[in-house]
Structure 1
């Protein structure tokens, strides 16, 4: 490409991504779909701003290469071993079953030759890791049963993509049904050579780069390893992505793993986005207009067949209920980014013709576009059919406690541990079912209930307790509970956790006995360590932290009188800063005087 053409392409691609991706995310469609839409709009089937997606595709393949390298880095042997049952159980079952069913349909219904049918089945069996995990994260379902199962299946698919990419060129060799053994041996030998070389060379190379203490050298080394390995694999007739994956896998348990991820991430994100744009440019929208029923029918068939397999795997191998299995099927039924790579490789090796390649690309894109609305509809259906009656509050048994702890999160648990170690009886109340169940697994005695409910306070014998520790993390619920306890049990001492100064002011309005800002002590201790690291003697640093604490407590009481007046609050903060500077300046002069007197005394 000429210089002005390169600049034109760069401007158009970046502008399309900047506009399309935020819009797609705004409508909860995900960044991947945004890139695909951007490519379709600017490509030959859209406004024809860019006419030759093949040239962009060659550069954008580096995005897939870097993605595979990062996936390899994340697949440490320890992580795979912990998740081995879910990954190699449900994941293997899903890929094999989906590929088998789709390949059989392709052969029977569309008269596809077996080799091509196998490639199509394997490609469509893969889901989008980026798309699926993003949807689960946005819906806060990563830790749900179907979220964990989906993550395990995606992890296996990432692993399975590597041998699939390696198999495609091998299947393309020869005209018969049998695989060429010479080519297969060449593939195995090249893989073994890369593994051995990587095992003994990669760490020493990175050690040399680190010892230079030049960040640019480390970045260049990382890119050299990834792209160099990919290039060597391509020379041997194997997928570039496979070489990058092996390089990442060999460094997964090294001390350079996290630094490598941070160095590669910006390049990976940009080039992977470029890859999806190039795929979108290759989408044949004219085909959709010419044969809408075929395209839409195949898209629906993919979602139904793959979804049915995922549902069955979730129910049987995964051991999750039917509604969770339905959610799993909805998240992963669409095609994925690796399918684009597999089908591009297959088209380049003449395993599928250009029309089939265009049709498959369009079907995968439409299936991804259909996933977000499908999930929204399923979410409403699941909510309507899985509504459970609210769990009743626990019955509180035992003798009256000396202390009641409301809220059993980070703060409440520490208070409870200290009290338990001294055998001081307490009753812990928590309004989160998940927190109650999790704490009970570790042997904690905790009761489910809302501490702002009068009947629960009576059941907890608040009238006979001495101390009420208010450790809930919701400021509004915290203040509401404090107000209720003050009204019902005026003799009960309340010590409350405050998230910030405004929260502390509201608690002070209620005249609680003690207010502790949750980050104050940790922040002061951190500041003391910073001062010591800057060269201040420990005694001086500790003294200045103590002076600051005294000054800040006095400021808190003063600002409590005017906290509902913004102008007065700002003025008091400015005056307090000046006063603090004066205190530290006087303290510095005093320290210097003591050091000088000490020096004179030592000389005498």
Structure 2
């Protein structure tokens, strides 16, 4: 009887460990990440010993982080990334340098050589992108101020890992003579610039036409393969010139953020990202060297405590100036205080360059892994004992779980959604109402409204809310980006739903029209128009005259919006259309005022009909 190949046996072990450990961990409230770490410890060299090739698995599983950065890049358009340049390079450098200085001082004070202290400080200053972004995504923190700040700092850390790795050969026994492994330093720099330039130009000029050609084949598996090939190729190019694979994937995602295939790419890559991230956390659990921990438990504990305490002090001190609300600072601080996956690479490179012995490298890697293992546990403690102090009496609500079958779904029950809900209720029409603001849900329930707590950007909650059988979805949420995510999700998975959307401004209105949503109402337009009528009446206009002028302005404004829409990406042309339309309206109304005055002077007080000019 033939033995099963190694890859099949290992796959069986990894999947079995994950399937057993993760549901148990979530069931007792510890989260999925801790479940993956525990699974890795259980099957690793210091557990049951079922898997021993930890390094190979860790290198492969790091591709999960690469896919995650690519998906994050898809959510960031270039102009939005440009708007984050200050927090990325400003606060990112403040966090890395501040943490590195304190950790370096602590290492020197403990009697470690300055080279060891410097490399250890730089490596420990980095945080886990995988864990931090995973937790932020699960808690819906990425759109918040703390989520944006954390993402900016983590992105800077990915960039900072490059010069840190370049510095290591200069500090160790392997001295750089000015030549890189692949040739002269200037040639390596030229290759680096060429690769980055190729990614940028290719993303702008080649990727979209290529994806369009592949999409025309109407073969889903080939599009999925093309999406994976894209990320793998860019990661390989970046590693070829010694740069971060994750950074290259993120850059490619940003370049495709405005592509019409963005959602398709996200849908295809998301399952692979989840599986590989889980494998990455399992590999981290397997990489914890409990032998080093057993030989030097005091030293290991001291490093972990110093790592978490000193980094937390720096991060907490910059959280205030960054404008992060007090209630979001504990989780923000804890997620960035842990060690990161890039530290594994830094310490392994330092041991190879003889900056410090392999024993020290194992000790530091173990400390980083333990800090990553402790973070989910500390998050549980923060949720239980720290965050309730900031909640100001807010209650934790259960998300919608019972399937609904109402013909209408209303996403968002603020001042806009409430009016629609009350009108439908008065007409005896059932509606399923979702809102992700716990305070709003509690307040609405106190007045007798049936409102469910849930995030309408989640596919599973939309299905539970009855999106597969409903006829109409009203998108009345406040946040513009959240509104557009809901629209994109519904267009892809529930194309039968009729959409009625709330637009906050012209930019939002255009974005909704780009997605094919035609039933769009600007939230303050009608009320502002009514106030304008009141002002005209107070200035002496007859009520019917004020109404006629307001209705004429309304009709003109709606027509002008339709004329502007084809040019909304061309600012100069759009401004010209607006100016011409405004001048036309002013001239038309001036002529009417002159005609009215002429009639009055002739003694003819008759005015145009009450409804003239209305729609």
TM-score calculated relative to the size of structure 1? 0.60
Counterparts of 2:353 and 2:72, CA distance in 1: 26
Counterparts of 2:170 and 2:208, CA distance in 1: 36
1:371-417 CA-partner distances (Å, limit 9, x unpaired)? 34434444555467558699xxxxxxxxxxxxxxxx85554234799
Q: Alpha-carbon deviation of 1:47?
A: 1.2
Aligned position for 2:93: 92
Aligned position for 1:106: 107
Query: Does the alignment pair 1:127 with 2:133?
Result: no
Match of 1:298 among 277, 285, 303: 303
Distance 1:246 1:326, change over 3 A: closer
Aligned position for 2:159: 162
Match of 2:255 among 234, 242, 250: 250
Q: Secondary structure at the match of 1:51?
A: coil
Counterparts of 1:12 and 1:433, CA distance in 2: 41
1:317-375 CA-partner distances (Å, limit 9, x unpaired)? 43644x65445323432223343444445555555543233222322232233334434
Aligned position for 1:214: 219
The structure having more radius of gyration, on CA atoms, is 1
Distance 1:178 1:318, change over 3 A: farther
Q: Secondary structure at the match of 1:253?
A: coil
Higher relative helix content: 1
Distance 1:228 1:170, change over 3 A: farther
Counterparts of 1:521 and 1:63, CA distance in 2: 38
Aligned position for 1:286: 291
Q: Alpha-carbon deviation of 1:308?
A: 0.6
Aligned position for 1:466: none
> In the alignment, is the contact (CA less than 8 A) between 1:103 and 1:121 conserved in 2?
yes
Q: Secondary structure at the match of 1:316?
A: coil
Superposed counterparts of 1:165-564, under 5 Å: 165=162, 167-169=164-166, 171-172=168-169, 182-183=179-180, 185-198=186-199, 199-200=201-202, 201-318=206-323, 320-321=325-326, 324-347=328-351, 351=355, 353-379=357-383, 381-382=385-386, 409-414=415-420, 472-474=449-451, 522=472
Q: Alpha-carbon deviation of 1:97?
A: 1.0
Counterparts of 1:217 and 1:107, CA distance in 2: 55
Aligned position for 1:565: none
Distance 1:452 1:386, change over 3 A: closer
Aligned position for 2:539: none
Distance 1:250 1:190, change over 3 A: farther
Q: Secondary structure at the match of 1:127?
A: coil
Counterparts of 1:451 and 1:225, CA distance in 2: 48
TM-score calculated relative to the size of structure 2? 0.59
User: 5+ residue gaps in structure 2?
Assistant: 395-412, 425-436, 453-468, 475-489, 499-615
Distance 1:520 1:149, change over 3 A: closer
Distance 1:530 1:233, change over 3 A: closer
User: 5+ residue gaps in structure 1?
Assistant: 391-406, 419-431, 437-447, 454-469, 476-518, 533-604
> In the alignment, is the contact (CA less than 8 A) between 1:346 and 1:352 conserved in 2?
yes
Distance 1:141 1:348, change over 3 A: same
Counterparts of 1:252 and 1:154, CA distance in 2: 17
Matched pairs, number: 425
Counterparts of 1:16 and 1:531, CA distance in 2: 41
Q: Alpha-carbon deviation of 1:312?
A: 0.7
> In the alignment, is the contact (CA less than 8 A) between 2:235 and 2:248 conserved in 1?
yes
Q: Alpha-carbon deviation of 1:306?
A: 0.8
Aligned position for 1:39: 40
Q: Alpha-carbon deviation of 1:157?
A: 1.2
1:568-593 CA-partner distances (Å, limit 9, x unpaired)? xxxxxxxxxxxxxxxxxxxxxxxxxx
Aligned position for 1:149: 146
Distance 1:110 1:150, change over 3 A: farther
Counterparts of 1:231 and 1:387, CA distance in 2: 46
Q: Secondary structure at the match of 1:50?
A: coil
Distance 1:195 1:370, change over 3 A: closer
Q: Secondary structure at the match of 1:222?
A: helix
Q: Alpha-carbon deviation of 1:165?
A: 3.5
Superposed counterparts of 1:20-35, under 5 Å: 20-35=21-36
> In the alignment, is the contact (CA less than 8 A) between 1:173 and 1:180 conserved in 2?
no
Distance 1:287 1:161, change over 3 A: same
Distance 1:262 1:347, change over 3 A: farther
Counterparts of 1:34 and 1:25, CA distance in 2: 7
Distance 1:250 1:244, change over 3 A: same
Q: Alpha-carbon deviation of 1:48?
A: 1.0
Q: Alpha-carbon deviation of 1:161?
A: 0.8
Counterparts of 1:209 and 1:188, CA distance in 2: 34
Counterparts of 2:211 and 2:277, CA distance in 1: 25
Aligned position for 1:70: 71
Counterparts of 2:438 and 2:273, CA distance in 1: 40
> In the alignment, is the contact (CA less than 8 A) between 2:17 and 2:39 conserved in 1?
yes
Distance 1:72 1:52, change over 3 A: same
